[in-house]
Structure 1
């Protein structure tokens, strides 16, 4: 192994035989960009809700991607141009999927009734590219960044616990939710989940991870985004599989303890948080409006696919009324788009399993496995294909593939 270790780490930091590469200006810049995209989102909306600043950046996500792209994209392109082996099949898959989205949306936006859907999807592309390039290049395990990253995660948690409701504007109809000047609990839950996975990849086997587990679960519960709350235990189990010394015993204890305490704990939470969205879904699924609407959207998507199984029917739904699962890809991009999306998810799981069996690249591999499991679960149960964990999944896949193929085992 090369004496300098930088990206991914072939073993936990405490066990690495080689010295860690020094932190450079580009590393600090990329890390700052990650914090700007996550903690910055929370600080911005907290300031808005408290009347400290006007909505100068709209809903933040789109504006942040425009500000981030000129930083992360040139770094990514420079590394790709100077090191041909830097590019992997995952980079190619990301480019293929992104180009497909742009071409189909541009062609479709000229058709009456499809402008809103096409424009929304085109607005997602810069955000896709920004997240991909950022996670393709940002340092994932630098020791000097550990404490600052924990502080950033802690601040995000505190902000969420203080102001769990992050609606910038009142949402009276579904179309309003897709204005750029509106941010909701789901957008917050996404950036929080991203930082949750990132910080766990940094701390690795440190006992600090148990505090992060607890903080993440509490924050996402208070937030009310049910999909991310369900994804969080998947992330926790994944990291324990990779890092726990006695994982089977720990997992058995957690499962048994969870089963024994579920009833009393759930009753307590139901009394303390009667309006919580997660509690409302568990207590009365049939009357949950979100669940009923999503079931209807899914049935309509299946009807569209049955009528045109190969081509689908791009934008065959009012804005926002898409199937909240992987079927949405089939509706918009036909069978080919669906198979491409599904293959990317499968590749993420396969690379994670291979890395686990080889017992190497633990920090990077654990992050990839957690992201892949989240994407698979959420794509099957809850999320539109525009969910921005997707480009992060591809970026982490590309990093792991490059790490394996690189003769030096590092990125300078």
Structure 2
């Protein structure tokens, strides 16, 4: 991966890693901030690698993904309570089970991969309808909006070539919207999901607005270097009081980190958009799903400590560099290669 995008991405991760080590050694920082940033840097690198080497065309990978999607959808439909699926409440546990955001993130990722693999518009429409409906029941609003946005963006691009796509997209949205009404119409108006239509009623949005205001005050006080671990000084002491948007990167890693972070997110989205528009390739489609939805979320809902964005970066870099190794090439032992070489030499002498 020698593309400029790869260089800037690795440079950004390295910069954040060095910044974390520098603050660990050279200054007093809030307890837990170094561990949080260190874990973030490691997660970025791991997810970047997964995205770069992920092969969605591998039949085994596809089978496992289908089984995982069906299992997650079944669990949600079986255990959903009043249009909410909150695993830790349902199974009465705080740590041993995934959070509803984590569960939803896994489901949305599986849905995006499966959508990218569908060959016909009808297949995508049906799968999108079920995926959006299940994501709605999970009550993770950011992931729900990200999925809807990603699907709509891709289908608008496809509709520019085949107008039938817009019609089927509308059908998918209609089917997705019917399921919650069928399951529990009474609970719909009181659900967390419907607060998206009026965020002033959302206590979560109010709290996030306060965190964003605190982050901006810290940025104004130190616009170049930021204030490493500054979110530990406001709100709760558990490190979760960061701005739920890209401003958290400015606070933690300064202006340079913020510019690189936003630049990479925008660049991978544009590169994926161009690549998909030109080829309509399934991997470019997945790259566009991941990067466009991630860009949307870091602007409105996700902090820099949400490492999942690096998965889309890795896939985009691998596709744009065109340096992927051949997939599923049959293995040949060294002895077989020697025998084949001898046979060719014998034929040439003959």
Query: Which TM-score band (shorter chain)?
Result: 0.7 to 0.9
Query: Which residue in the other structure is 2:55 paired with?
Result: 139
Which segment is superposed worse, 247-256 or 98-107? Answer: 247-256
**Structure 1 CA distance for aligned equivalents of residues 168 and 114 of structure 2:** 24
* CA apart distance, 1:138: 2.0
Helix, strand or coil: the match of 1:234?
A: helix
CA contact (8 A) 1:108 1:115 kept: no
Query: Which residue in the other structure is 1:125 paired with?
Result: 41
5+ residue gaps in structure 1?
1-85, 172-176
* CA apart distance, 1:201: 2.0
Alignment CA distance shift 1:167-1:309 (3 Å): same
1:237 to 152, 163, 177: 152
CA contact (8 A) 1:189 1:228 kept: yes
Matched, 1:333 2:253: yes
Query: Which residue in the other structure is 1:114 paired with?
Result: 30
1:291 to 200, 205, 215: 205
Query: Which residue in the other structure is 2:311 paired with?
Result: 392
1:151 to 53, 63, 67: 67
**Structure 1 CA distance for aligned equivalents of residues 60 and 206 of structure 2:** 48
* CA apart distance, 1:203: 2.4
* CA apart distance, 1:410: 4.3
Query: Which residue in the other structure is 2:287 paired with?
Result: 368
**Structure 2 CA distance for aligned equivalents of residues 267 and 154 of structure 1:** 20
CA contact (8 A) 1:239 1:370 kept: yes
Alignment CA distance shift 1:314-1:250 (3 Å): same
* CA apart distance, 1:131: 2.0
TM-score (norm 1): 0.67
CA contact (8 A) 1:109 1:115 kept: no
5+ residue gaps in structure 2?
80-84, 233-238, 330-350
Which segment is superposed worse, 143-152 or 346-355? Answer: 143-152
Equivalent residues in 2 for 1:171-320 (5 A)?
Answer: 183-205=98-120, 207-241=122-156, 247-251=162-166, 254=169, 271-273=186-188, 276-282=191-197, 285-318=199-232, 319-320=239-240
Which segment is superposed worse, 324-333 or 195-204? Answer: 195-204
Rg (Cα) greater in structure = 2
Matched, 1:104 2:19: yes
Aligned residues: 314
TM-score (norm 2): 0.77
